[in-house]
Amino acid sequence: MNAILELLIAVTLLSTLTHSQAECPEKRTCDDERRRSLDGSCNNLNNADWGTPNRPYARLVPAQYADGIWEPARARSGESLPSARKLSVKLLGETEMLHLRNTLVAMQFGQFIAHDMSFTADADGIQCCADGKMIPQEFASPRCLPIEVAEDDIVMSDEGIECMNMVRTKTTLEDGCSPQEGGSAEQLSSVTAFLDLSVVYGNSLEQSNSLRTFTAGQMGVQQRNGKPWLPSHPNKTQTCAVKDDSSACYLTGDVRSNQSPHLTLIHQAFLLEHNRLASELAALNPDWDDERLFQEARRINVAQYQNIVYYEWLPIYLGRQNMMDAGVLPQVELPGFATDYDATVDPTVSNEFATAAFRFFHFIIAGHLDLIEESKQPTGSIRLSDWFNDPTVLEQENKYELLSRGMIFQPHDRPNCHITPEVKHFLFRHGGSIGVDLKAIDIQRARDHGLASYHDYREYCGLSKVSSWDELRAIIRPPPGSVIADAYETLDDLEFAVGGALERPFGDGMAGPTYACILLDQFRRTRVGDRFYFENERVFSSRQLMELRKASMARLLCDNTHGLKEIQQNPFFLVNDTNPVVPCEQISTVNLNRWR
C-alpha cells in the first residue's frame, strides 16, 4: 500500500511539472500597446511579463528556509517553532469590538482588493489532515504542511481535532516555466499584480471570453425575478460548499468570489457596473462594435475602481499623510495628470505583502452580518460561518436587500489583538461544528513561504532593532506584549507574521510601522509601475479624467445594488452629521458624454 501511494504522489508531481513545461508561454515582445491586456503583459514595454500571472512573488528580504531551499524555518536552537494554532490561541483574544467609524463594506472592499492583486498557486485536492486526523507521513504528499492542534486546545480538542489541513504553495521548484535563481523556492501568484479588476474580467483572454456575451459589450448575467444576477457556475458542487445545483454559486473572474455573501455583493456591483457603462456607451456611440464597447467599459470601470482604492479606501487604513510621505499618492495639480510613471519600477506583488502585511485586515472581520431594514433598523443577523463559500443566502427572500444595507450601515471590528471566533475556530466549517483558524493559517503560510524574521523586516524598513522583551512590549499592543516572550525561545525567533501584526499603529494609519512599510511600498509600486494607471498622461483625456475623479463607492453601490435608494455620502464610514444619508440622486455621477 505504501509503495502504491508513493508512486501515485510521484506521478502527480511529475505530471504537474510536465504540464507546466509543456505550456510555457513564448517570450513576448511588446509594441506600444495603448490598451491594458487581460493578463497584464506588456504593461511595461521593456519587461513584458512584469505583473503577469504565474510568476514568482517579489521578495523584499531573502527567504529564510531551514535548508536554504524549501524546508520551513526552525527556531535558532534547531527546535520547531511554536504551533501556529497555539500562537493564535495564546496571543489573540476573541472579543468582538465594533469600530467607531468604519463600516463593513470597507473591510469587505479590502478583501476584494487583496484578491485582485494576489492568489497563491495551490494544489487542490491534496489531503494532509483528513477528518481532523494527521495523514501518516509515509502516505502524505511532500507538499503537506498541516497545522498541529494540541490535545488541550480550548475548542478543537473536544471534537477530537488533531490538525488542520494545509498544502504548500506551488513554487519555482515545481514550475518549469519559472527561472530558478539561487536554488531556493519562490512561490507563484496565479493572478495579475495590477489593480485591474481581474477578479471581474479574469486573468487571461480565454477566461475573459467565457464571461462575455459578445453582444453590445456586455458581460454575462442571469435574470431572475426581473433582476440581473451574476451567472451561475457550471460546476457548483465542486466550486462551492453546496450539495446540489439548486443552491447559488456564481461564475466570476475569481473562484474566491463566493467566499462570503458581502464579497459576492461587491463582485456583482462591479459586474453590473460594467454592463451599465457598456449600455450607456452604446447609446452615445451607435457605431461602436461589441469589442470597442467592451474595452471602453472595462477601461472606465477599472479607472473608477482605482480612484476609489487610492482616494477613498487606502487613506482610511494606511493614512493619507503616510501615503503622501511614501509617494503612494501622486503629486497632482488638479485638473492635471500624474507624471511619476516609472518604467523601472516593478509592480510585482511582494511575498511579504501578500502573505503577511495585507492579512493585517483579518483582525477587522465581523463574525455576524446584520440584516437591516429600509428604516435602518436591524432585524437580526446571520453567522458568517454558516455561509462560507455558499452565497445561497443572497437569493433567499429579502436577504439580498437586508444584507446589502447591513454591509453599508454595520461597523466592522476594531483592528486590535482580538479576532472573531467565526474565523478563529469556525472558518470554512461547511455545516460541521468546527472549522479552521484563519490566523493560524496566516502564520503557517508565512512559514511555508520562507518569510524572514520580524527583526529582518524592521531592519529592511529602517526601523530600530528591538533588543529586549521589554523593548518589544513597548511597541506591541497589549496584552500580547506581555505574553509573547513565553511563546518563543528567543527574541530572534519572533516571526514577521506575529510581531508585525501586533505592533501599535503607525502615523495616521491602522497598521504598525513594519507592516505599514510593506503596505506603502506595495501600493506605491502598484501605481507608479502601472503604465495604465488612470491618472497617467495619455490614458484618458483631461476632460474624461475630470469625470473619472467623481467616481465613488457610494455611486457604484447606488447604481448596482438592487433596491438601494439612499446611502451615506461615503459608505466606508458610519452615518454621522458630516456623513449623512442622502438620496442616491444626490451622489455625483461620471458623465459619459466625454466618451461620445
Give the Cβ contact number of residue 234 at 10 Å: 11
Please tell me the distance from the alpha carbon of residue 366 to that of residue 50, in angstroms, as a whole number: 35
Q: Is the peptide bond before 335 cis (omega within 30 degrees of 0)?
A: yes
DSSP-derived secondary structure for 406-420:
HHHHSEEE-SSSB--
Name the catalytic one among 19, 99, 115, 267.
Answer: 115
Give the Cβ contact number of residue 106 at 10 Å: 25
The SS3 call for residue 1 is coil
Q: Is 115 a catalytic residue?
A: yes
Please tell me the distance from the alpha carbon of residue 376 to that of residue 510, in angstroms, as a whole number: 28
With beta carbons less than 8 A apart as the criterion, state whether 454 and 514 touch.
yes
E-strand stretches of 359-484: 368-372, 378-383, 411-413
Selection from 282, 279, 254, 281 nearest residue 268 by Cα: 254
**Burial per residue of 363-393, b for 16 or more beta-carbon CB atoms within 10 angstroms, e otherwise:** bbbbbbbbbbeeeeeeeebbebbbbbbbbbb
- Consult the annotation and say whether 449 binds a ligand: no
Please tell me the distance from the alpha carbon of residue 186 to that of residue 65, in angstroms, as a whole number: 11
DSSP letter, residue 267: H
E-strand stretches of 184-256: 188-189, 222-224, 227-229
**Residue owning grid cell 477566461:** 207
Selection from 266, 278, 253, 250 nearest residue 201 by Cα: 253
Beta-strand relationship, 411-413 and 378-383: unpaired
CA distances in angstroms from 120 to 13, 47, 55, 153, 584, listed in the order given: 18, 22, 10, 29, 38
Distance from the Cα of residue 129 to its chain's centroid: 25
Please tell me the distance from the alpha carbon of residue 112 to that of residue 450, in angstroms, as a whole number: 25
Q: Is 132 left (phi over 0), alpha (psi -120 to 50) or beta?
A: left
Please tell me the distance from the alpha carbon of residue 107 to that of residue 251, in angstroms, as a whole number: 23
Please tell me the distance from the alpha carbon of residue 306 to that of residue 316, in angstroms, as a whole number: 15
Q: What residues are annotated to the active site?
A: 115
Q: Which residues are annotated as a binding site for heme b?
A: 362
Q: Which residues are annotated as a binding site?
A: 362
